[in-house]
Structure formats: structure tokens, C-alpha cells
Structure 1
Amino acid sequence: MHNQDLYDVTIIGGGPAGMYAAFYAGMREMKVKLIEGKDELGGFLQTYSDKTLWDVGGLPPMKCAKLIEHLVQQAGTFEPTIVLKQTVDTLNHLQDGIIELQTDSGESHITRTVIMAIGRGVAEVQKLDIPSAQNYERSNLHYTIQNLDYFERKKVLISGGGNSAVDWALELAERADSVTVVHRQDSFRAMEHNVSQMKRKADVLTPCYIEGFYGNGQIIQQVGIANTATGESLRLDVDEVIVSHGYTSHVSNLARCGLDMHEGMFVMNPLAETSVPGIFTAGDCAMREGKVRLIAGAFNDAIVAVNSAKKYLEPDAAGMAYVSSHNELFREKNRALHNQQT
């Protein structure tokens, strides 16, 4: 049975791009549905809920969890339909330009346009290929961090060379007894300023990698470190080990729906249009020249995608929504906010 409730736009993905698209589509007075595969909104930010973000325009430094909270509240401003725990597997074009989305639960959703905002797809952490590593995942081997205070006054070893590894090192340097960072390369794939800070606050071993764990079968007590340049090895006493080697992303079956893709991402033009009419894209799943891979860039993608979807449905519609300070949709909401504050 098809879900016969027809929507103007259905957003696939509940990360920053998808949530902001839901809000902005409400500003365009569109009937909105958002479908998210997990049981909560937030997308990839949920992986680093305790991480501090500094680079979201106009906001003070805040934890990912707090930003998610704000985004969820904003996304619900115009009461879109939110569908959780469903993954869109197939996309079919029906008559009269209607698009049918079928999910892994067997449900069907129909819509006039689609915004693909699936972020990094289904992300799987890249785990260490070391014998016995799996034995320690329930004790002191971590692939992500949910609570920074857990590492208070401990000897922490971090393996990785990207932004996440560097950020964790900086966060934990203020709490842990010691922080050691191990990376296979001499250079780091992270913001230069943060790398400089890390080198001042943590012990950095390069070009090195973890070659083995030594413990009692339940808790890692020492880590074997090998230097790729000299071949020398050493052992470090540790309390906790954090591995930040990135994620392997698997884009859903939608990749087989006729959309042009490059390096696992949907190709879009400057108007956020994909190769299929009526389907637009935003956020980390999208690729174009000059693409900005920041949360701020995801917001901009969402705006462009929604405006293009609106013009697709109504060619005579304005190119963008009125700014919120002049938008009649916010008159009652502003009055309600004023009453709360007085």
C-alpha cells in the first residue's frame, strides 16, 4: 500500500543538512517529510556527541549534543512529518512527476521532490586489524568518545591523524594524566593551528603505528608501538586507548537509482540539482566544485536545495524565502517568544 499523503518535499537524512532543510522548507510553506534511518536525529554528529564545536557561525563553542538539540528544535518549527528508523532503499518515478520512496520496513512514501541529505551514508568505524583487539572493546579500547570525564587522570593513547584524533587529543590534554598521539605519517590531516596546539600539549610519535596490545585478555595494560622509518619498537603503559582511523561509508541503494555519482557522492550543480529532475542534494553526500565541507556549508546547501525544489514545483515562486525578520510566518512565533520573555 502506498502512503497516499503527498508531500511537496521529502528529505532523506536527519543530520545538519537535512534538519535545516526541513526548517527552511517550512519557511517556503512547503509540506515537508523527513526520513531518518536511525532512531534519533543528528546524523554523524551523534558519533561525537561530547565533542566541542568552534566553527559554526554565530554560535559560541558548544558540544555536538547541544547543537543537535538546537537543530532538532529548529527543524520542528513548522511541524514537518518526521519518520525515524526507516532507510530509503528504492526510488521510483510514478505518473504526473510523483516520486515514490520505498523503505527497508516495506513502507512507501510519495512526494513531489526529494532532497538527498544522507551525509556519509551508513558509516562503519575502521577498526584495528590486530589479533585480540576485539577482546578489549568492552573495556579500554575505544573507537569513539561519549564522555570526556571518563578519561580524567588517566594515561591515554590516541591513534590517528585526522581532525578527530587531533581534537580528542586537545580535549583530553586538559583532563588526562598524559596523552600520547600515534600516527603513521609525519604530517596530520587536520587544522594547522590545532596540530600546533596538540604538539605542545601531547606527546606525538610519528611515523608510528600500533603493532600490538599487551594485557590480561580483558584490559590493555601496554601498547606496542613501531616506528615505520627506523623499524624500532617500544611499549607504552596505558590506561585507555582511542583509535580514530575514520569511517568506511556505504551509500544506500539509492546510488543505483540513476543518479550521477563520483567517489561515492552525489554530483550536484550550483543549484543543488542532481542528474535526475526533481531530486536535489545537500551536505556531505553531495559533491560539486567549491563544495564547503563544514556544518555551515551544509546549511547553505540545504537552502539552495530547498529553493531549487520550490522553483521546480512553482517556476514563478520567489528565488528564496523572505528573511525571518520580515517573514509573516514568524509574526505569531515572535509574539509567543516575546510573551515568554516578559
Structure 2
Amino acid sequence: MSEYDMIVIGGGPVGLFGNFYAGLRDMKTLLIDSQDELGGQLVSLYPEKTVYDVGGFPGILGYDLAQKLIEQAKMFSSDIRTKEWVDWIQKTDDNMWIVKTNNGGEFKTKTVLIAVGIGKISPSRLGAKGEVEYENKGVFYTVRRKKDFEGKRILIVGGGDSAVDWALTLAPIAKKVYLAHRRDQFRAHERSVKEMYQVANVYTWHELKEVKGDGSKVTEAIIFDNRTKEEKTLDIDAVIISIGYKGDLGNIPKWGVNMKGRDVLVNGKMETNLPGVYSAGDIASVDGSPKLALIAVGFGQVAIATSVAKKYIDPSSSLFAGHSSEMDKFKK
């Protein structure tokens, strides 16, 4: 059975940076991720969106940021497994952990880092007539490539940051952009909402009733006013349903870690109640601290988690190993 210093559960931005930082601390790691491609939500949901809140990048596409994090995560030749998820963790008699995966894999490790974000993600669906029939034939839940929408008539459904951001992003290249939202209040940034009204045809209090097409592609969408039930038919080429994603945490709530709702509870050292098990990123809730679901916050948390884990493994090691710029391995 393969043995590691740390097994990182989750291949999103925080898990990738944690894998790198553990390698920086000379820890042998295995990273396990349920998706078929590393990068988490950056590649699954936001590959073409610009990320602004990561230090060092005034603006960078989600996909590009993911590729840089993947490159960084692989610097120390760690083991990486994708399309596989952790079903169970079990304490051993020699104070280690056995990590078991869905396909029968078993790995032994001194520490575990839970960095799964919101879990294994799948899109939230509306259940509108024709929605499933035309998935990937004009009905989408995210934008993987902007160029696929050039010159198209697009209906976006939703009222959060993603929906509004896609309206702003696609308006310059699309033939026409409509946005339908079931309320008149948006969960997006106020400035973005104001800009959206200038570039898109916005229907508040409206919901999607039906998607129509010719069997191979979308041609129309029917929306309705949820107060008056009045219907409108829009000639469109694509529908982007942007009402969020569901995160499946699998068996994590059964592992024995203290949780509150969907959050894993940790202290300021990013320690869970289980010795040798840590958590960081969107899934972690730090005792006494406000929760900010930002990549930048997750980076700081996972640096703490891996440093504390290093000292847990080797009490003689320093919690702070110094700045990476001072290490010989980073000198040219």
C-alpha cells in the first residue's frame, strides 16, 4: 500500500496550492480529485471568466489561472489521481489514516487535507420543458468557450454574479443578449447590474417556461411573467441557465469531522477535531473568523494547514520554513 505524508482531497485552486506548498515543505503527497480535469470550478464553471481577486494578477481568465496552479502543483512530482473520489477515511492503530476511494483504491497517509470546495459539482436545472432535450444543443449551464457564442442570440436565465457577468462578457460578441430573472432584485454586484442594463434586454419577474428547436438546435424560448402569467416568445440560438451548481460532499459528513451545515469546522490552525486531518478553502469554517469564499483566502488557509501538518508529522521541524525566495531550491 502506498504511503504518503499528506493526501490532498480536492483538485481546485486551494487543493492545488496546498499540494504545492506541502511539496515545498518536503512532504510526499497524493492529490485526489473527482473531476476529469484539475482546476475545480475554474475549469468546470468559469474557464472564460476573468478572475480579479488573486494577488499578482490584475485580471486572468479562470482557465489560465487553473493551468498555472496545475503547473505549480506538479513542481515536486507528487502523485495525482483524477476521476476518483474519496469515500472514506479510517484511523489506523499506528496513528495514521487509510484513505479509501470509490474504485477500491486504498492509500496510507500521516495527514489528510480536505479542500473540496463545495464538493463534486453538477448544474442546478430548472426543469423547463425542452431543457434536457436540448442540453449541449443550445442549452448550457456555463460558458466553456466564448467564441461558441459569437453572433448568437442568447437568453441567460439567472440573477447572480455568474448570470450578470456572462451577460456583460458575451454582449460585445453576441448578436443579442436577453436576461430573464424571476425577481427584480439581483444578487450580483451593483455596478455590474447597472452595466448589464445598458447592454442586454432584461426581463425581471420572468422565468423560462420552454425551450424549442428543430431537434438538432435551439430556435426559440418561451418566458413568462410569474405575476401575470403573460408569455413572450424569443427567437434565440442559445440558452445559458445560470442558477448555480449543486455540490455533493459524498460521505464527508460521515467521516467523524465536526461540521456545521456544509462546512467543516476548524480552528485557527486549520485543524479539524480529528488529529492529522485539516481543511481549507470554501468548505472550511474557521472558529471565530468571518467566512470569505475567495481563492486568496483559501491560499492563506492552506499554507497554514500544510505548515501545521508538517510540524504534526515532524515536531522538530519549524512551523515557518522561511520565504520560498530564500530557499536554495528556488535559486537559479
Same fold (TM over 0.5): yes
Separation of aligned partners in 2, 1:330 and 1:230: 65
2:329 aligned residue:
329
What's the CA shift string for 1:156-212, capped at 9, x where partnerless? 110011111111111101100111111112121122222222122212111211122
Separation of aligned partners in 1, 2:199 and 2:321: 47
Q: What's the secondary structure of 2:182's corresponding residue? A: coil
Separation of aligned partners in 2, 1:306 and 1:238: 49
What's the CA shift string for 1:35-72, capped at 9, x where partnerless? 12233311121212222222221113222221111001
Q: 1:259, CA displacement in angstroms?
A: 0.8
Answer yes or no: is 1:73 the counterpart of 2:77: no
Which of 17, 21, 24 lines up with 2:14 in the alignment? 17
Q: What's the secondary structure of 1:226's corresponding residue? A: strand
What's the CA shift string for 1:96-122, capped at 9, x where partnerless? 211000111111100000000112211
2:309 aligned residue:
309
| Matched-pair contact (CA < 8 Å) for 1:179–1:203 | yes
| Matched-pair contact (CA < 8 Å) for 1:291–1:297 | no
Separation of aligned partners in 1, 2:298 and 2:217: 40
Which of 140, 143, 167 lines up with 1:145 in the alignment? 143
Alignment of 1:272-287 (within 5 A): 272-287=270-285
Uncovered stretches (5+) of structure 1, i.e. residues with no partner? 336-342
2:293 aligned residue:
293
2:29 aligned residue:
32
1:241 aligned residue:
239
Greater alpha carbon shift after TM alignment, 55-64 vs 179-188: 55-64
Q: 1:283, CA displacement in angstroms?
A: 1.4
What's the CA shift string for 1:247-298, capped at 9, x where partnerless? 1111021220101122222122222111211100011222233122111112
Alignment of 1:144-293 (within 5 A): 144-288=142-286, 289-293=289-293
Aligned residues: 329
2:34 maps to amino acid:
G
2:295 maps to amino acid:
I
Separation of aligned partners in 2, 1:250 and 1:190: 24
2:125 maps to amino acid:
K
1:6 aligned residue:
3
Q: 1:217, CA displacement in angstroms?
A: 4.2
Answer yes or no: is 1:94 the counterpart of 2:92: yes
2:318 aligned residue:
318
Q: What's the secondary structure of 2:3's corresponding residue? A: strand
CA RMSD, 1 decimal: 1.6
Query: What TM-score results when the alignment is normalised by the length of structure 1?
Result: 0.91
Query: Percent identity between the aligned chains?
Result: 38
Separation of aligned partners in 1, 2:325 and 2:211: 58
Query: What TM-score results when the alignment is normalised by the length of structure 2?
Result: 0.94
Separation of aligned partners in 2, 1:142 and 1:83: 28
Higher helix share: 1
| Matched-pair contact (CA < 8 Å) for 1:50–1:148 | yes
| Matched-pair contact (CA < 8 Å) for 1:283–1:301 | yes
What's the CA shift string for 1:111-161, capped at 9, x where partnerless? 000000112211121112122322211411111211111111221110011
Separation of aligned partners in 2, 1:247 and 1:186: 22
Separation of aligned partners in 1, 2:327 and 2:150: 48
Separation of aligned partners in 2, 1:216 and 1:29: 58
Which of 125, 128, 131 lines up with 1:127 in the alignment? 125
Uncovered stretches (5+) of structure 2, i.e. residues with no partner? none
Q: What's the secondary structure of 1:319's corresponding residue? A: coil
Q: 1:316, CA displacement in angstroms?
A: 4.0
Q: 1:20, CA displacement in angstroms?
A: 0.3
Q: 1:317, CA displacement in angstroms?
A: 2.8
1:21 maps to amino acid:
G
1:34 maps to amino acid:
L
Greater alpha carbon shift after TM alignment, 261-270 vs 86-95: 261-270
| Matched-pair contact (CA < 8 Å) for 2:281–2:301 | yes
Which of 47, 54, 57 lines up with 2:55 in the alignment? 57
Q: What's the secondary structure of 1:9's corresponding residue? A: strand
| Matched-pair contact (CA < 8 Å) for 2:276–2:309 | yes
Separation of aligned partners in 1, 2:231 and 2:84: 48
